[in-house]
């Protein structure tokens, strides 16, 4: 990635949580950012543009993205719907799959072919991808991101493009207090606190940096000790 070229990232889920933290970090690092979310959010910055888009409307993605060309794609949009085996609503699983996996695929199909040498893709996964009671459909959709990242990484490696996953444990975002998860409480990591969105954003910034040019097809788990 040449320093003479403007670095431009498209970040989904930009209005809150991890996505908002990624936007803030990249703007601080000098990136130009297009933030994708249904709501406008509160970012006011000369290098920031908002793209209003419901990523669950898959057919709306291509017209909204248009002919944009970016240096990096960060897919941070996500939602959590919980439910144990035999109790979970099938529509909840389908919605999570659509947002986490199918939307990521549509965006990558559009944007990665336009990336040059040094392009980057980072998908926000979850430590839960390893499996967790009451979160089966969510875990499956996040585990799929790892398979996508490794497959895409192998395909685009000859072009100098990397694809990686950042997978945090329970992170202090609005998702923690979502009423839809009332039956499955968030588990505080052994570290004694929830992961902070800025910590996830720092990992994303590393994967987007020149120093990470040789790192691809990997999953970085920010677990706060949960995996020990």
134-148 burial string, b = 16+ CB within 10 Å, else e? bbbbbbbbbbbbbeb
Give the CB-side neighbour count of residue 188, counting CA atoms within 13 A.
4
CA distance 135 to 71: 33
In 29-153, the DSSP E strands lie at 32-37, 48-52, 72-75, 120-124
In 58-178, the DSSP E strands lie at 72-75, 120-124, 162-168
User: 48, 138, 152, 207: which is the annotated catalytic residue?
Assistant: 138
Asked if 206 contacts 200 with a C-beta cutoff of 8 angstroms, the reply is: no
| Residue whose token pair is 């990242």 | 149
In 133-208, the DSSP E strands lie at 162-168
DSSP 225: T
Active site residue 138: yes
Asked if 121 contacts 148 with a C-beta cutoff of 8 angstroms, the reply is: no
Point out which residues pair with 222 in neighbouring strands: 168
Indicate which residues carry an active-site annotation. 138
């Amino acid at each position: 990635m040449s320093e003479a070229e403007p670095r431009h990232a498209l970040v989904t889920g930009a209005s809150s949580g991890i996505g908002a933290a990624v936007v803030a970090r990249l703007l601080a690092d000098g990136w130009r950012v297009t933030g994708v979310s249904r709501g406008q959010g509160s970012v006011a910055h000369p290098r920031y543009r908002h793209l209003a888009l419901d990523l669950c409307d898959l057919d709306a993605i291509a017209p909204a993205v248009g002919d944009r060309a970016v240096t990096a794609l960060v897919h941070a949009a996500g939602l959590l719907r919980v439910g144990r085996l035999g109790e979970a609503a099938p529509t909840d699983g389908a919605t999570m799959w659509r947002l986490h996996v199918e939307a990521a695929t549509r965006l990558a199909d559009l944007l990665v072919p336009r990336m040059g040498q040094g392009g980057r893709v980072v998908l926000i996964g979850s430590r839960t991808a390893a499996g967790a009671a009451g979160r089966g459909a969510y875990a499956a959709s996040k585990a799929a991101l790892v398979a996508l990242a490794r497959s895409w990484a192998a395909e685009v490696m000859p072009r100098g493009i990397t694809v990686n996953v950042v997978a945090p444990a329970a992170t202090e975002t609005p998702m923690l207090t979502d009423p839809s998860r009332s039956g499955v409480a968030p588990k505080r990591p052994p570290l004694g606190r929830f992961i902070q969105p800025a910590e996830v954003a720092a990992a994303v910034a590393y994967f987007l940096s020149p120093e990470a040019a040789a790192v691809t097809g990997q999953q970085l788990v920010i677990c706060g000790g949960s995996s020990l």
